[in-house]
Amino acid sequence: MTKAADKIIVALDVATKKKALELVEQLRGEISFFKIGLQLYTAEGPEIVRAVLATGAKVWLDLKLYDIPNTVARAVESASTLGVQMLTIHLSGGSAMIRAATAARASDMLFLGVTVLTSVTEQTLREIGITDGVEDQVLRLAKLGVDAGIDGVVASPHEIKSLRREFGDRIKIAVQGIRPSWAEPDDQKRFMTPREAIQAGTDYIGIGRPITGNAQPHEAVARILEELSY
């Protein structure tokens, strides 16, 4: 696999185990990391995680856990026993929740905190009573998470440079809201192309619908890798 391919995590945003495993099988020649989010996990439960891991692939379990500290800690323990390589919590749960979660995780699991969703705009923040801009809110939550022991953050690609200025290489950055130059933005508000995000300094890029919604997912991955090669 190429170095660029190692940065790509394909989001298995599908409804069934059968469809998810078909995608993994089609893409395993190029992609080694897959994201299981709420749709697929709600439909298939922990068994889909075990099934994808059994193929030799790595799994980002993107559940964005957010609850009282004890509940989140117990959920993190359960995720750790599955053997996933990456897990997310919502940093807006506060420092007590984050610390409880980090204390409960497996030591070899990359533990990421979600800052501000890529569908969120400043208008969205105003609706929930936050008066600061998106970038300020991302940095505030990132600092809260780093101080509480997380390994990295999830943000939009537009915050990569400010996160690198603030934290350097002390954290991993995974971005969503990635759309190749030929894809529709859908409901993403703060997005970039894969090449722009990697040039900005991200460690991982999560890509879903441009690949999984394509009639030829393998060809979509090939186009993305070609875009990254020049």
Q: What is the pLDDT of residues 159-172, one digit of tens each?
A: 999 999 999 999 99
Find out whether 76 and 105 touch, Cβ atoms under 8 Å: yes
| Spatial contact of 110 and 152, defined as CB atoms under 8 Å apart | yes
Q: Domain limits at 125?
A: 3-228
Query: How many beta carbons lie within 10 A of that of residue 162, not counting itself?
Result: 15
Q: Distance between CA 220 and CA 87 in Å, rounded?
A: 26
* Residue 185 to residue 101: CA distance in whole angstroms: 33
Residue among 3, 19, 64, 143 flagged as catalytic: 64
Q: How far apart are the first and last CA of the chain?
A: 17
Q: What is the CATH number of the domain that holds 168?
A: 3.20.20.70
Work out how many domains the chain is built from and give that number.
1
Rounded-to-integer distance, Cα 187 and Cα 119, Å? 6
Give the distance from CA 92 to its chain's centroid.
16
Q: Using one digit for the tens of pLDDT, what is the confidence trace for 130-150?
A: 999 999 999 999 999 999 999
Q: What is the pLDDT of residue 182?
A: 62
Is 7 an active-site residue?
no
Q: How confident is the model over 28-46, as pLDDT tens digits?
A: 988 999 999 999 999 999 9
